[in-house]
Amino acid sequence: MSALNTALWFVIHSMIYGGLCGLFLTFVPFLKLSRPKLVLFWTLNILIFGVWLLSQYSTQNWLVHTPSLQWTIALWLNACMAYVPLAFIICVIHAGLYLLKRKPKRPFLISPNPILIPFVWLLSGFGVYEAMTPPILKSFDVYLADLPDELEGFKIAQITDSHIADFVSSEELATSVEQLNKHHPDLLVMTGDLLDDNRQLDSAFQALEKTSAPLGVIGILGNHEKYHGLNEIIDKYKVESAHFPIQLLIDSHITLSYRDVEFQVTGVDYPQAPNTRRQHIDVDVFNQHMADSAARAFDGVNPTQWNLLLAHHPNTFHFISDKNASLTLAGHTHGGQVLPLGYTLGKFRYHLDYLKGWFEREHQAMFVSVGMGNVWPCRMGVPREITIFTLHRKE
């Protein structure tokens, strides 16, 4: 069982980076700060991470409404996270030179901090700025061969990976919904990872319900809903559906009507057991779970009706080639969040075969959104986004 919500889990793991950074600056001779600077570092380190940790135990998340504190914590965190691996690499180089009985000659290796510290702050500033900048609204005209004539001009708004918590607020989600409203969507879909802080559960749903889409909201679960508080989120969908057109699809489908034509929306669940976190099961087992999930979702789908598929993990696309799914909308990847990571860690550690953007094959298309939010407040080359799709029949 997972006892920690994702926001608190992330704080604790971030504090480890702060501690490691301090160890490098305290004990490694060629990285060691002078005593006054070291006192200042540890004071700020304890204060900043302490305030962040304290905020997790408040009834209301006051941090998310305090931009100055958000920025301070995010900048400090990302500077520490950048410093640790770079300092480690420099230590490895020093160790290699020592084994070769050679002394470092380059000024940077003799005294790295005059260059290293400004560099990590520059990286941090860029990453935090892009992570805190409001999401870009992207609009696409989508041409589909099997689209019914009645669905010509049908508009779907997508929000995914909003990760409402310490660095993305329910108010930002509400603003995104209102932005999408200006384009008059017919349906709003939420493709998983709605929030990581259940203190904002009510306000997150209030934000979704600001949509002007006449067909309401259809949501699916992501991996972050599975980490903590899953039952609360499922119950909230049920409660809200009693007075607002909002539906949660868990390996299931629903029939909607638009301009006197019926079509279907299918939702595939994320293949992970409830209240577990980051369990690295065998990739073949994971893929089998995903295939089984897709099979359950499509069981009973009317093959004569047009079908929209919602899947948090884009690798679901592998397992629906023989299914009635004209258009798939996915998220999960954040586009790698920091551009080089998507094509390295994303591909080889997390097996993300579809990172971001459009993917097509015969009679099927998929869009993978980079997401509206983030738990880790850093983005580089992958700005946040919300999307709207206008459907057209391909002649």
> DSSP of 68-137, one letter per residue?
HHHHHHHHHHHHHHHHHHHHHHHHHHHHHHHHTT----SHHHHS-HHHHHHHHHHHHHHHHHHHHSPPEE
pLDDT at 280: 57
What pLDDT, in 10s, does the model give residues 270-306?
988 776 666 556 788 888 999 999 999 999 999 999 9
The three-state secondary structure class of 158 is: strand
Where do the structural domains in the chain lie, given as residue ranges?
A: 6-132, 136-393
DSSP three-state, residue 357: strand
Residues 253, 236 contacting (CB under 8 angstroms) = no
Dump pLDDT digits (tens) for 139-173. 999 999 999 999 999 999 999 999 999 999 999 99
Give, in degrees to the nearest 5, the angle at Cα 355 between 350 and 361.
Answer: 120
Inter-CA distances, 258 with 236, 269, 323, 390, Å: 26, 25, 22, 14
Nearest to 315 by CA among 353, 281, 285, 278: 353
**Cα–Cα distance, 376 to 374 (Å, whole number):** 6
pLDDT above 90 (res 346): no
CATH class of 136-393: alpha beta
| Residue 223 reports pLDDT greater than 70 | yes
Beta strands in 259-314 (DSSP E): 261-268, 307-311
Q: State how far the Cα of 391 lies from the Cα of 153, in Å rounded to an integer.
A: 5
